[in-house]
Amino acid sequence: MNAVPGVGRPTRPDAVASPAAPAHPGKGLAQDEPLIFELGGWDKTGVDFSAKARGGDRDSSDLEGLTRAVPLRLPGLSEPETLRHYVRLSQKNHAIDLALYPLGSCTMKHNPRMGEKLARLAGFADIHPLQPISTVQGALALMGQLAHWLKTLTGMPAIALSPKAGAHGELCGLLAIRAAHEARGDARKTVLVPTSAHGTNPATAALAGYQVAQIAQTADGHVDLADLAGKLHPDVAAVMVTNPNTCGLFERDVIEIARLTHEAGAYFYCDGANFNAIVGRVRPGDLGVDAMHINLHKTFSTPHGGGGPGAGPVVLSAALAPYAPIPWLTQGEAGFDLTEEATGGAKSSVGRMCAFHGQMGMFVRALAYMKSHGSDGLLRVAEDAVLNANYVKARLSGVMTASYPDGPCMHEVLFDDRWLEGTGVSTLDFAKAMIDAGFHPMTMYFPLVVRGAMLIEPTETESRRELDRFCDTLLDLAAAVRARDVERFKGAPFHAPLRRLDETLAARKPRLAWTL
């Protein structure tokens, strides 16, 4: 990606930078920092090796032709240079530890440090998937306890812990659905997806080999029951519904959606990414759901995008339980075990989704979050998430246009760009100005069912003080819009490490590697 010509600095140069100091080394505590490849040191290393360690006293034939013929082309940095490089880079990032992260439909909330500490216990962090089962009984017991509570909270009888993330969980659920249809000799080819679903839903259905048909949405942001009923033909394998949906609304007709789906011989897949809004209050199994993935980073506060592999467990109804992927966690008189082969009782399984349960740290963090809250506390998680979103809606609706103003929202509130019409400021411009004010932008232009969408999810971990700081900032920006201070928005961000990038060029001609 390139910076605006003449403003800021590019993210990647075409040649090694001069070893001379930059013209503008920093401003206050914000230090300028070039790429590691620009720092020089191509002819040095940060570590001294003796001649013996370099193989100086060995016959080169011992290396069997493995000696490097060309330079490695990696810069050499001393320890303080390396440390300062990464610290300076870290100061250019927004983070949940710095301020509210208002991304709608992503649930970017605080990760309790207690969970981080527990995940680093040697008995969890240092185990290996090929260890004998007898040596990892504690870890398996934790997985069993997590599985129990996830089934309890969702009202579902079976669970697969191995999926690594939401989309992986969707694939797991759809493969189980396909296997169930094929087992009864009724292979089907179509999956129905509402326009308000997460984008991974139709993508995963296509990846699983299904044709995707769209279900319309009503004017007030819900699944159109008449359109659904008209498209539920004998070739439909499943209906995938995100609930609460990406408009921040609970699907009020969810039980009727399940009834119509089952009546047509199809299965009801629920995208559980927004389970954070209903955990402890609604059990999806009671609503007729057959399969649902749970993003542990969203509802149960495991790191989002960092800290190791993700986790997207999938809960299954009794009808789909026999098709759950292996390995299965079982408990007997001798302790816990993993059913590794699709034979015997697991002969109907869809097989293995991944090599191992590599996301142990996520399991530990999620169970720690659940146990620290308890059943009453998890109910408060949902209630506070919904309360915070409605507080933001109440404070901003007088200036910004809420897409669905009638009644409360769930865990996130959706605004659109109608209030920006005629001002010369777009959704993107407004979001860039938020960076100057110290906030990461909300989710922009999604969901696609409203124009110029601005989707905000504050989560339950934000205090009223932080919510007020966020809302006050957006109200101040809105006042600047009304005052026609267009340059404040068109030129933003002014105070970020980089000025506004050419996003069209970045998407069409991305440069993803540094070259000499």
- Which two three-digit tokens encode residue 138? 């504690």
pLDDT in tens, 217-236: 999 999 999 999 999 999 99
What tokens appear for 222 in the block? Answer: 């819900």
Cα(139)–Cα(358) distance, rounded to whole angstroms? 12
What pLDDT, on a 0 to 100 scale, did the predictor assign at position 237?
A: 98
Report the pLDDT value the prediction gives residue 17, as an integer from 0 to 100: 38
How confident is the model over 112-154, as pLDDT tens digits? 999 999 999 999 999 998 999 999 999 999 999 999 999 999 9
State the Cα–Cα distance between residues 302 and 307, nearest whole angstrom: 8
pLDDT at residue 307, as a whole number: 56
Cβ neighbours for 160, distance < 8 A, ≥ 6 positions apart: 169, 172, 313, 314, 316, 324, 325, 353
Identity of the amino acid at 150: L
Give, in words, the CATH class of 376-508: alpha beta
Scanning 103-199, the segments in alpha helix (DSSP H) are 113-119, 122-125, 137-154, 166-183
- Whole-number Å distance between alpha carbons of 292 and 272: 6
- Are the beta carbons of 317 and 296 closer than 8 angstroms? no
Domain ranges of the chain: 1-92, 376-508
For the chain, percent of residues with pLDDT exceeding 70: 90
User: Is residue 255 predicted with pLDDT exceeding 90?
Assistant: yes
Q: Residue 195: in which H helix or E strand, if any?
A: none
Within 8 A by CB and 6+ apart from 475, the residues are 395, 396, 399
Q: What is the pLDDT of residues 88-117, one digit of tens each?
A: 988 888 888 999 999 998 899 999 999 999
DSSP symbol at 420: G
**Portion of the chain with pLDDT greater than 90, in percent:** 72
Q: What are the phi and psi torsion angles at 276 (to 5°)?
A: -55, -30
| Cα dist from 364 to 121, 128, 136, 153, whole Å | 10, 15, 14, 17
Interval 22-79: pLDDT, tens: 455 677 777 788 888 888 777 777 777 666 655 555 555 566 677 777 877 778 888 8
174: helix, strand or coil: helix
Distance CA 164, CA 55 (A): 43
Spell out the alpha helix ranges (H) of 360-509. Answer: 360-396, 427-436, 464-482, 486-490, 503-508
pLDDT of 75: 82
pLDDT of residue 10 exceeding 60, the answer is: no
Res. 18: pLDDT tops 50? no
Q: How far apart are CA 153 and CA 379, in angstroms?
A: 10
